[in-house]
Amino acid sequence: MNIPALIFRLSSRFHLWLYVLPTLMIAAIGIVCMILGLSPVISIALLCFIAILLSAWVAALHRALEKRRNESLSNIIEVCRAITDGAVSVRLQEHELQNTPYLRPLREVYEWVNILADKPQKDVQEMKRLVRVRSEFLANVSHELRTPIFTIQGFLETLLDGALDDDSVRKQFVEKAFANTQRLNILLSDLIDITRIESGEMRLSFRFFDMIPLVREVMRNLEQKAQARSIDLRLQRPDDEFIVYGDRDRLTQVMTNLIENAIKYNVEHGSVIIHLQHGSPFGIISVQDTGIGIADEHQQRVFERFYRVDKGRSRAVGGTGLGLAIVKHIIEAHKSTITLKSELGKGTTISFTLQVED
């Protein structure tokens, strides 16, 4: 039998009595000797023998506890060294320590070392995620920039190879090259915007203003695009003002993106309805279209950068893949959230809330 281990287990439950017990036992044996009428010499010899046994017992207990403490300290040092060397997943096993007063401070050290180790592990995971996002972002940017640049290059090369003297194609090729430069300009503007937003460089200017003139201005700017596809633009609003708290310029950008998307991905002779609804303490702004709709598996990802449900159609209508990502960031900067409801073949409704004037 492993006596020190047995003593250690007993100490876990009766740690107090292991220190008081020797004194009580010696006192009890002294009383028994007196009752039995034993001679003083025998009584003293018996008491000394018992005292020696108890002293050895207590000494064994202390050695066992000391050994356990030293092992625990060694574990702490090894884990701290491993974490310092980069093994951030290493942890101390708290269940290995008995919950005794002697070892309780070490148990607390175990807990704090594990808590401190969690932070670098989370930091490493976040760094890996950011590296992956950065790589994906750079790959997407390279691809998106390459497409219009190669297209422009192709048209210019064709013109230089002799088409410049052909009146039937010269104007057509120049117009197509110009359209791609416009697309490139829009893409670069969106890239600058989303970079500034995500880096925190874009500062918003909050104030109370009437949302109705803003929406009407955006509708006027997009009216020609809507008429080209026979799409009816409508505004459903309260009879009085619709005063909200936000950055007017950035919310103009939000409404332009949402309404323009509703026109692009609509059907011929469809409709786009902008709803402004009073609420307390938030007003609800939504853009509803009668377009092609979005399948369920795509709805959670449409606000991601460069994510397209139909890549071919998005490029055909001039989308950069960044519009909804920018919209989401701007709305979140207003301490709000954006929601999407869509059904294939029936249309899509995108809504968000803004603080309104009391």
Residue-level pLDDT at 100: 55
* Structural tokens at position 36: 């039995």
**119, containing H or E segment:** helix 104-160
Cβ–Cβ < 8 Å for 51, 22:
yes
Flag residues of the chain having pLDDT under 50: 1, 4, 7-8, 10-17, 313
CA distance 332 to 246: 11
Do the strands 271-277 and 232-236 form a parallel or antiparallel pair, or are they unpaired?
parallel
The CATH class that applies to domain 128-199 reads mainly alpha
Instruction: Please tell me the distance from the alpha carbon of residue 306 to that of residue 323, in angstroms, as a whole number.
Output: 9
61 Cβ contact partners less than 8 Å away, ≥ 6 residues apart: 4, 7, 8, 11, 18
Q: What is the pLDDT of residue 20?
A: 56
pLDDT score, position 207: 93
User: Does domain 207-355 match CATH 3.30.565.10?
Assistant: yes
pLDDT the model gives residue 99: 56
CA distance 210 to 243: 4
Q: How far is CA 192 from CA 98, 298, 305, 325, 334, in A?
A: 58, 26, 13, 13, 20
The neighbour count for residue 215, using CB atoms within 10 Å, is: 22
Indicate the domain borders of the chain: 3-87, 128-199, 207-355
- Which phi and psi (to 5°) does residue 302 adopt? -65, -20
CA 139, CA 157: separation in Å to the nearest integer? 26
Is the CB of residue 322 less than 8 Å from the CB of residue 312? Answer: no
Torsion of Cα atoms, 292 then 297 then 299 then 303, to 10°: -120
DSSP annotation of 356: B
- The neighbouring-strand residues paired with 351 are 286, 339
DSSP 231: P
DSSP 8-state assignment for residue 100: -
For the range 63-67, what are the long-range contacts, defined as Cβ-Cβ under 8 Å and sequence gap of 24 or more?
A: 63/4, 64/4, 64/5, 64/7, 64/8, 64/11, 65/8, 65/11, 65/100, 65/102, 65/103, 67/4
pLDDT of residue 199: 73
Other Cβ atoms less than 10 A from the Cβ of 212: the count is 18
Cα separation, 322 vs 305, in Å, equals: 5
**Alpha helices of 161-267 — where are they, by DSSP H?**
167-199, 211-228, 248-264
Q: Answer yes or no: are the C-beta atoms of 283 and 354 closer than 8 Å.
A: yes
Distance (Å) of CA 164 to CA 151, 159, 175, 232: 17, 5, 13, 41
Does a cis peptide bond (omega within 30 degrees of 0) precede residue 101? no
pLDDT on residue 79: 72
